[in-house]
């Protein structure tokens, strides 16, 4: 542990949780074999799932979860003021993941379903990604994140390199894995427009990509939608394809072109 | 070198024995996908097979390969990593044999790449002739890559109960020496082989409206064709076409640093000119940002640049890219359309 790139002082990490399942935090705890090495490099000052002490000074803020309350916005702005680096963890924080499912419903309905008559005590907004509120320095994608990617991003940041997250689509990794293509068996797949880096995990197990890593850097959305329509989907079905993980984008962002009528 | 004739049953027993003693890779069908992979016995080999998902070049340029290990410190210590396993690659189609000959020309004759050359020395190439077109996407016949005359250790032709074995190198001869049941090919065996070739040539119809050596000229004339824009609108930039192509060899080089921030590895991985970041430079600009430019670049590599530089086909007509492309971009159609409408121009 005497490399010349080793920082003289361990950067302090704080991990904050918004609307999410805490699965991404658990992935960090899953770094069992690497935790000892990791803790020599960085110090966790706030990590709800793992340690109890809280610190108010940190160098890197990791944020898991989607923004669903006004209080989240205030909290995020306060974090951004303190943290030189803000990094999101997982699909909920970017592009909005499972919490974004509620965006496809009438704004009152999800609250009523979950809290019944008490729904009024839990006001909530449209689910939004963290970067809709504050500037974010890097996103670690996935649902959940992969621990190796987390470690490689931390290492890259420590030595001042760009986080090694691919911008190209899942198909690249899928073809390199020699998987049969979902489209060839008449199934659909979001691989052509979804960011790679998972090693085409789902198609490699006989499934298809659901888009959990969010859009690739440069997706050809109109050609992809024409492909889905050629495979028998209408405009509404095409939108439904995006909603599972990319609901916010599908609703509010021109990157995905479909119009929604609620 | 003297060619041999061997009954199929004996050949299969020979493969069984080889596969139990050393690494034999062959096309294996797993569901709809056919891949070169290590086999334990001859019966695992796919019988009729389309070109494999990835080409056999993966044994020479692995998808991800460690080039060296390093340790950072006052002085950087580096040590090359050279892994070159012995593999007998069995059942390589003629198109792929031509593609491997091109890679040899690039990675051994032109630029001596130590990693490629080390692997190449340890690989035995056993080809398998095609006697009919593999499907309607293939156009090897038009690219003149269906006939093979060099760059194999053994080349097999299935003549029914017997297999004709052309011996292409001392390595192939020695490999075959252990085969019981084989005999020297006689005049009548050569006649059977010739008849099989005649039947084969009749079974393949030309797919291209130009001969392969006219492609460089056609592509040069078509630099401003409107077709590139049409293809650019369709292309998903998914990289499938280049990943599956037997003549694609572009790679990216990167470093992996361990958590001690001192030791790590430098590796190379396959890259694709169809991806946004391929032609990106340090300042963030990309020299081939529009998709139309990327598609045009790929098809020019395949039909023109490689031919101009190495005098060999840069596309061997295997049809893999057309099979893999979800939006049906097919080199046969591209080349034929350019031939049909060379005058269509766009102002850019
Ligand atoms: S299965 Fe999906 S990710 Fe894989 S090649 Fe097909 S479209 Fe791309
Ligand atoms: S294949 Fe798609 S859905 Fe599956 S892990 Fe990768 S990005 Fe997520
Ligand atoms: S396979 Fe087709 S869609 Fe994908 S990059 Fe190649 S030409 Fe474009
Ligand atoms: S360009 Fe297409 S047809 Fe030509 S060699 Fe490559 S994959 Fe085969
Ligand atoms: S493209 Fe030609 S040589 Fe290649 S597998 Fe098909 S028929 Fe055989």
CA A181 – ligand 3 centroid, Å: 14
**Alpha-carbon span B59 to B243, nearest angstrom:** 14
- Number of domains into which chain B is organized: 2
Is residue B166, in this structure, part of any structural domain at all? yes
Is residue B346, in this structure, part of any structural domain at all? no
| Same domain, yes or no: B32 and B57 | yes
What are the pLDDT digits (tens) for B25-51? 999 998 888 999 999 999 999 988 899
Nearest to B236 among A34, A41, A220 (CB): A220
| Same domain, yes or no: B149 and B222 | no
Residue B99 banded pLDDT, cuts 50, 70, 90: very high
What are the pLDDT digits (tens) for A118-144? 988 888 898 999 999 999 999 999 999
Instruction: Please identify, in words, the CATH class of the domain defined by A12-94+129-158.
Output: alpha beta
Q: Which candidate, A164, A137, A162, A157, places its Cα nearest to that of A10?
A: A157
B230 inside 8 A of chain A by CB: no
> Both tokens of residue A184?
């060839």
| Same domain, yes or no: B118 and B261 | no
Residue B344 banded pLDDT, cuts 50, 70, 90: low
Residue A52 banded pLDDT, cuts 50, 70, 90: low
Is residue B21, in this structure, part of any structural domain at all? yes
Is residue B345, in this structure, part of any structural domain at all? no
B316 within 8 A of B99, measured Cβ to Cβ: yes
Residue nearest to atom 4 of ligand 3 (CA): B238
Domain's final residue, options B181, B203, B225: B203
- For a pLDDT cut of 90, what percent of chain B falls above it? 89
Average pLDDT over residues B64-93: 96
Residue nearest to atom 1 of ligand 5 (CA): B318
> Both tokens of residue B24?
């034999």
Nearest CA in chain A to B77: A3
| Same domain, yes or no: B66 and B98 | yes
Å from A151 to nearest chain B CA? 8
Cβ of B275 within 8 Å of Cβ of A168? The answer is yes
| Same domain, yes or no: B52 and B194 | yes
B147 inside 8 A of chain A by CB: no
Q: Which candidate, B65, B188, B190, places its Cα nearest to that of B118?
A: B65
CA A194 – ligand 3 centroid, Å: 15
Å from B235 to nearest chain A CA? 7
Bridge partners (DSSP) of residue B124 are B88
CA angle A234, A235, A238 (to 5 degrees): 90
Q: To the nearest whole number, what is the mean pLDDT of chain B?
A: 94
**Alpha-carbon span B122 to B60, nearest angstrom:** 10
Nearest to B236 among A156, A164, A224 (CB): A224
Residue B346 banded pLDDT, cuts 50, 70, 90: very low
| Same domain, yes or no: B230 and B196 | no
Residue A261 banded pLDDT, cuts 50, 70, 90: very low
Q: To the nearest whole number, what is the mean pLDDT of chain A?
A: 87
pLDDT at residue B1 in the model: 67
3-state secondary structure of B194: helix
| Same domain, yes or no: B140 and B88 | yes
What are the pLDDT digits (tens) for A205-257? 999 999 999 999 989 999 999 999 999 888 778 778 887 887 766 544 433 33
| Same domain, yes or no: B172 and B142 | yes
The ipTM assigned to this model is 0.95
Asked whether residue B345 carries a pLDDT value surpassing 80, the answer given is: no
Nearest to A168 among B32, B72, B239 (CB): B239
Kindly give the number of the ligand 3 atom that is closest to the alpha carbon of B242.
Answer: 6
Say if residue B31 is exposed, middle or buried (CB neighbours under 10 Å; 0-12, 13-18, 19+): exposed
Domain boundaries, chain A: 12-94+129-158, 170-261
Q: Ligand 1 within 6 A of A192 CB? A: yes
Residues 6+ apart with CB under 8 A from B280: B286, B287
Is residue B38, in this structure, part of any structural domain at all? yes
Cβ of A3 within 8 Å of Cβ of B260? The answer is yes
Ligand at minimal distance from the CA of B320 is 4
Å from A194 to nearest chain B CA? 10
Asked whether residue A100 carries a pLDDT value surpassing 70, the answer given is: yes
Is residue B348, in this structure, part of any structural domain at all? no
- For a pLDDT cut of 70, what percent of chain A falls above it? 90
- Mutation for B interface: A9, A10, A175, A226, most B CBs within 10 A: A175
| Same domain, yes or no: B188 and B220 | no
Average pLDDT over residues B190-212: 96
| Same domain, yes or no: B48 and B188 | yes
Q: What is the 3-state secondary structure (H, E, C) of chain A?
A: CCCCCCCCCCCEEEEEECECCCHHHHHHHCCCCCHHHHHHHCEEEEECCCCCCCCCCCCEEEEECEECCHHHHHHHHHHHHHCCEEEEEHHHHCCCCHHHHHHHCCCCHHHHHHHHHHHHHCCCCCCECHHHCCCCCEEECCCCCCHHHHHHHHHHHHCCCCCCCCCCEHHHHHHHCCCCCHHHHCCCCCHHHEECCCCCHHHHCCCCCCCCCCECCCCCHHHHHHHHHHCCCCHHHHHHHHHHHHHHHHHHCCCCCCCCCC
Residue B309 banded pLDDT, cuts 50, 70, 90: very high
Is residue B347, in this structure, part of any structural domain at all? no
| Same domain, yes or no: B172 and B309 | no
pLDDT at residue A20 in the model: 94
Domain that holds residue B23: 4-203
**Alpha-carbon span B325 to A175, nearest angstrom:** 11
Q: Could you tell me how many CB contacts below 8 A there are between chain A and chain B?
A: 114
Least confident range from A30-44, B222-236, B291-305: namely A30-44
What are the pLDDT digits (tens) for B140-155? 999 999 999 999 999 9
Q: Name the residue with tokens 């850019």.
A: B348
Average pLDDT over residues A89-98: 93
What are the pLDDT digits (tens) for A205-218? 999 999 999 999 98
pLDDT at residue A49 in the model: 61
| Same domain, yes or no: B158 and B250 | no
Q: Which candidate, B249, B241, B294, B287, places its Cα nearest to that of B268?
A: B249
Is residue B321, in this structure, part of any structural domain at all? yes
Q: H or E element: which one contains B307?
A: helix B306-310
CA A198 – ligand 3 centroid, Å: 20
Domain's final residue, options B144, B171, B203: B203
Asked whether residue B52 carries a pLDDT value surpassing 70, the answer given is: yes
Least confident range from A18-32, B224-238, B263-277, B305-319: namely A18-32
């Amino acid at each position: 542990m005497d490399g010349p790139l080793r920082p003289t002082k361990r950067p302090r990490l704080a991990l904050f949780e918004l609307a999410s399942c805490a699965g991404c935090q658990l992935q960090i705890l899953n770094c069992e074999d690497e935790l000892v090495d990791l803790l020599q490099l960085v110090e966790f000052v706030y990590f709800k799932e793992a340690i109890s002490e809280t610190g108010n000074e940190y160098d890197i803020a990791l944020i898991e979860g989607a923004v669903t309350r006004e209080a989240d916005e205030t909290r995020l702005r306060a974090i951004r003021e303190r943290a030189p680096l803000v990094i999101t963890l997982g699909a909920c924080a970017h592009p909005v993941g499972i919490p974004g499912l509620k965006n496809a419903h009438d704004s009152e309905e999800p609250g009523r379903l979950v809290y019944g008559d008490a729904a009024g005590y839990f006001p909530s907004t449209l689910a939004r990604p963290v970067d809709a509120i504050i500037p974010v320095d890097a996103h670690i994608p996935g649902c959940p994140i992969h621990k190796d990617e987390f470690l490689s991003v931390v290492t890259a940041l420590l030595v001042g390199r760009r986080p090694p997250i691919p911008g190209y689509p899942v198909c690249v990794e899928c073809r390199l894995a020699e998987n049969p293509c979902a489209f060839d068996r008449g199934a659909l797949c979001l691989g052509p427009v979804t960011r790679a880096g998972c090693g085409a995990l789902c198609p490699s197990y006989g499934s298809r990509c659901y888009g959990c890593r969010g859009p690739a850097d440069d997706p050809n959305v109109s050609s992809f939608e024409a492909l889905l329509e050629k495979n028998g989907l209408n405009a509404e079905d095409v939108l439904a394809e995006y909603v599972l993980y990319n609901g916010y984008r599908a609703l509010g962002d021109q990157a995905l072109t479909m119009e929604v009528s609620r | 070198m003297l060619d041999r004739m061997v009954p199929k049953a004996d050949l299969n027993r020979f493969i069984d024995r080889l596969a139990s003693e050393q690494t034999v890779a062959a096309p294996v069908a797993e569901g709809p996908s056919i891949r070169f992979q290590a086999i334990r016995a001859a019966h695992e080999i796919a019988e009729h097979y389309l070109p494999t998902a990835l080409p056999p070049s993966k044994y020479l340029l692995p998808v991800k390969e460690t080039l060296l290990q390093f340790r950072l410190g006052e002085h950087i210590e580096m040590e090359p990593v050279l892994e070159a396993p012995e593999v007998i690659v069995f059942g390589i189609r003629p198109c792929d044999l031509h593609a491997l000959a091109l890679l040899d020309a690039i990675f051994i004759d032109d630029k001596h790449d130590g990693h490629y050359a080390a692997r190449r020395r340890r690989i035995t190439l056993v080809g398998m002739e095609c006697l009919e077109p593999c499907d309607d996407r293939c156009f090897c016949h038009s690219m003149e890559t269906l006939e093979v005359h060099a760059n194999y250790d053994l080349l097999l032709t299935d003549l029914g109960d017997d297999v004709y074995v052309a011996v292409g190198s001392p390595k192939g001869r020695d490999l075959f020496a252990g085969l019981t049941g084989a005999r020297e090919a006689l005049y009548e065996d050569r006649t059977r082989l010739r008849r099989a070739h005649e039947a084969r040539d009749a079974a393949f119809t030309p797919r291209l409206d130009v001969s392969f050596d006219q492609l460089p000229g056609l592509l040069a004339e078509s630099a401003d064709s409107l077709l590139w824009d049409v293809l650019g609108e369709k292309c998903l930039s998914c990289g499938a076409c280049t990943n599956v192509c037997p003549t694609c060899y572009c790679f990216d080089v990167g470093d992996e640093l361990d958590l001690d921030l001192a030791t790590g590895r430098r590796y190379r991985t396959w890259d694709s000119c169809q991806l946004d970041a391929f032609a990106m430079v340090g300042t963030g600009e990309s020299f081939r940002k529009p998709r139309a430019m990327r598609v045009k670049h790929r098809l020019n590599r395949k039909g023109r640049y490689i031919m101009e530089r190495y005098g060999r086909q840069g596309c061997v007509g295997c049809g893999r890219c057309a099979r893999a492309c979800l939006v049906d971009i097919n080199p046969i159609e591209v080349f034929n359309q350019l031939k049909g409408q060379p005058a269509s121009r766009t102002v850019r």
